[in-house]
């Protein structure tokens, strides 16, 4: 039966004469005509919930967390073990949860066979503690950053940032969530029971080879466009299901993928509410039926499961529309929610979540242009490729600046979108091509997707000293040099 499909597929391909297509079928495709169809090995497992990392320091004024980057083994498909990397485990890392005002110390041990760094994505800290490419940790060594949490409640994350090795290390499993709580999140009547009605959801696509092994082996197309995998993992598991109470559930979504931008929907078209963006709560919940999340972006959403019957299944799907990146179905199932008979507290959608002071563009002392351009290995920002020895921009401490980030339409197929990320700050979006940003981009952000030909203006105040990166968060682009450095002094 399967053989017949293969022959039909092969004949069709030859007739059409699309050689590229053949390449995709052997590497990137998961459809039924794929000779490497491994879907019979996909067994839906319960969604793994990363543990909360314990504060090991008895001193109430200092939270201390220990992380070890290590080698591991993960069974993604039934019976097939892949070599992966994890923090304190086989794949991904525990969730670090802190509170605004906390003094935090982290002891990070590198048990890998290669150098790595530990970057706090979205955290407002000085350059020394940021964990960028200058903070390499050699095998067997330890790095001990220390900082105070001086920003509102948010879902941030941590991952390696080694020059030319970030894509591989994140892909192989090094990533974890870093959650900040504050007085606002403490008092809001929203789900906040970790693992009960408040769930971490880390979505990553991986490339499984013909034998079902997850390996970082990017092809030319992956290097140019960012890696697009043929399997979606959530918290390190393929096609998992999550049992949810009949009630309101909070999902902390992180796109931890190397290259793929998702367009999430619930398969039944049900609406949900975004309550937080990268850097914390939005002022008001934003009702939506579709959410776009580019690499490194986060969104906290509320989903109401109270109208369902016990045993009902609701699927989170990605509606794929990017032609030329991968051949796939219109919709891909990411994970399932299975409604249990637990009636949970009725949480109405709050009217107001927080208050955000908008930074006045008139306060900006400078407008800096950031032009993203090029294709493949010649991807640049302001016509430059990352050089560890060069500081590209110098910012005065406590200055407010506007960064005008544009995406020059170059390369193939009219160009591609790039998620622009800035270290050490959270910023606000002034406008997209002169138009006000959509409602879910009116809060704090640290990563912003810039479409081909588009110009996005962002504004922030630089309150921390040191050397920081700005870059495209498609990790293959970042590693290829689509990154620059700014120094605050
Ligand atoms: Cu998610 Cu430069 O980082
Ligand atoms: Cu970052
Ligand atoms: Cu890019």
Residue by residue, DSSP assigns 347-398 as -PPPS-----PPPPGGG-SEEEEEEEE--GGG-EETTB---TT---EEE-TT
Q: What is the pLDDT of residues 414-465, one digit of tens each?
A: 788 999 999 999 999 999 999 999 999 999 999 999 999 999 999 999 999 9
**Predicted local distance difference test score (pLDDT) of residue 7:** 52
pLDDT for the residue 322: 52
- Specify the 3-state DSSP secondary structure of 166: helix
Ligand nearest to the CA of 470: 1
- 127-146: per-residue pLDDT in tens? 999 999 999 999 999 999 99
Distance between CA atoms of 343 and 336, rounded to whole angstroms? 19
CA of 476 to the centre of ligand 3 (A): 8
Cα–ligand 2 centroid distance for 353 (angstroms): 25
Ligand 1 atom closest to the CA of 447, numbered from 1: 1
What is the Cα–Cα distance from 344 to 210, expressed in whole angstroms? 44
Query: Which atom of ligand 1 sits closest to the CA of residue 122?
Result: 1
Residue range 21-79, pLDDT digits in tens: 333 434 444 444 454 567 777 778 999 999 999 999 999 999 999 999 999 999 999 99
The model's pLDDT over 395-419, given as tens digits with 9 standing for 90+, comes to 999 999 999 999 997 666 678 899 9
Using one digit for the tens of pLDDT, what is the confidence trace for 269-284?
999 999 999 999 999 9
Ligand in closest contact with the CA of 261 = 3
Which of ligand 1's atoms lies nearest the C-alpha of 119? 3
Give residue 344's pLDDT.
83
Ligand nearest to the CA of 478: 3
- Ligand 3 mean position, distance from CA 474 (Å): 5
Residues near ligand 1 with C-beta < 6 Å?
Answer: 119, 121, 159, 161, 296, 421, 423, 469, 471, 473
Close Cβ partners of 174 (under 8 Å, ≥ 6 residues apart): 69, 85, 86, 87, 92, 93, 116, 159, 160
Percent of the chain topping pLDDT 90:
82
- How far apart are the CA of 71 and the centre of ligand 2, in A? 23
- Across 98-122, average pLDDT: 98
Atom of ligand 1 nearest to the CA of 159: 1
111 pLDDT more than 90: yes
Ligand 2 centre and the CA of 137: distance in Å?
A: 17
* Ligand 1 atom with minimal separation from the 483 CA: 2
- The enclosing H or E element of 185 equals helix 183-187
Spacing, Cα 423 to ligand 1 middle (Å): 7
pLDDT of 151 over the 50 cut:
yes
* Terminal alpha carbon distance of the chain: 67
The ligand whose atoms approach the alpha carbon of 227 most closely is: 3
Atom of ligand 1 nearest to the CA of 132: 2
From CA 129, how far away is CA 145, in angstroms rounded? 5
Instruction: List, as ranges, residues with CB under 5 A of the ion ligand 3.
Output: 418, 472, 474, 477
Cβ atoms < 10 Å from Cβ of 387: 12
**Residues 260-264, mean pLDDT to the nearest whole number:** 94
What is the dihedral angle through the alpha carbons of 470, 254, 459, 372, rounded to the nearest 10 degrees? Answer: 40
For 277, list phi and psi in degrees, rounded to 5: -110, -165
CA of 483 to the centre of ligand 3 (A): 9
Would you say residue 12 has pLDDT above 50?
no
CA of 473 to the centre of ligand 3 (A): 6
- For residue 218, the cross-strand partners are none
Alpha carbon nearest to ligand 1 atom 3, residue: 121
* Ligand 1 atom closest to residue 161's alpha carbon, by position in its atom list: 2
Residue minimizing CA distance to atom 1 of ligand 1 = 121
Q: 2-11, 47-56, 75-84, 264-273: which has the minimum mean pLDDT?
A: 2-11
Residues 215-238, mean pLDDT to the nearest whole number: 93
Phi-psi region of 398 (alpha: psi -120 to 50; beta: other; left: phi over 0): left
Mean pLDDT on 364-386: 92
């Amino acid at each position: 039966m399967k053989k017949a499909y293969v022959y039909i597929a092969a004949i069709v391909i030859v007739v059409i004469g699309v050689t590229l297509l053949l390449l995709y079928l052997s590497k990137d495709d998961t459809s039924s005509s794929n000779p490497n169809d491994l879907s019979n090995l996909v067994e839906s497992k319960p969604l793994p919930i990363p543990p909360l990392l314990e504060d090991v320091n008895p001193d109430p004024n200092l939270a201390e967390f220990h992380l070890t980057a290590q080698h591991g083994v993960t069974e993604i498909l039934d019976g097939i073990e892949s070599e992966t990397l994890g923090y304190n485990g086989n794949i991904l890392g525990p969730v670090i949860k802190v509170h605004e005002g906390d003094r935090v110390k982290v002891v990070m041990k590198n048990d890998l066979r290669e150098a790595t760094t530990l970057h706090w994505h979205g955290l407002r800290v000085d350059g020394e503690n940021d964990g960028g490419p200058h903070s390499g940790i050699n095998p067997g060594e330890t790095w001990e950053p220390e900082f105070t949490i001086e920003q509102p409640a948010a879902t941030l994350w941590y991952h390696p940032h080694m020059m030319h090795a970030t894509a591989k290390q994140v892909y192989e499993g090094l990533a974890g969530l870093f959650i900040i709580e504050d007085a606002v999140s403490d008092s809001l009547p929203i789900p906040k029971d970790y693992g009960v009605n408040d769930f971490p959801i880390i979505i990553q696509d991986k490339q499984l080879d013909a034998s079902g092994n997850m390996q970082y082996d990017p092809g030319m197309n992956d290097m140019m466009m960012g890696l697009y995998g043929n399997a979606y993992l959530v918290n390190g598991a393929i096609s998992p299901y999550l049992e949810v109470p009949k009630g309101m559930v909070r999902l902390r979504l992180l796109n931890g993928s190397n290259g793929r931008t998702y367009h999430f929907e619930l398969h039944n078209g049900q609406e949900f509410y975004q309550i937080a963006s990268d850097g914390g709560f939005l002022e008001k919940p934003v009702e939506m039926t579709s959410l776009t999340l580019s690499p490194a972006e986060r969104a906290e959403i509320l989903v109401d499961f109270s109208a369902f019957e016990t045993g009902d299944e609701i699927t989170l799907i990605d509606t794929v529309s990017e032609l030329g990146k991968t051949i796939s179905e219109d919709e891909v199932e990411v994970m399932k929610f299975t409604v249990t008979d637990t009636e949970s507290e009725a949480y109405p959608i709050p009217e107001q979540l927080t208050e955000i002071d908008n930074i006045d563009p008139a306060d900006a002392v400078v407008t800096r242009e950031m032009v993203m351009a090029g294709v493949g290995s010649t991807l640049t920002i302001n016509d430059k490729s990352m050089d560890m020895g060069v500081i590209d921009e110098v910012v005065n401490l406590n200055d407010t600046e506007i960064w005008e980030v544009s995406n020059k339409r170059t390369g193939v197929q009219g160009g591609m979108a790039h998620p622009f990320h800035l270290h050490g700050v959270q910023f606000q979006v002034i406008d997209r091509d002169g138009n006000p940003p959509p409602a879910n981009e009116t809060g704090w952000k640290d990563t912003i997707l810039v479409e081909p030909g588009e110009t996005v203006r962002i504004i922030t105040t630089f309150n921390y000293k040191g050397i920081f990166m700005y870059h495209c968060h498609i990790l293959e682009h970042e590693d290829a040099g689509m990154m620059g450095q700014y120094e605050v002094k």
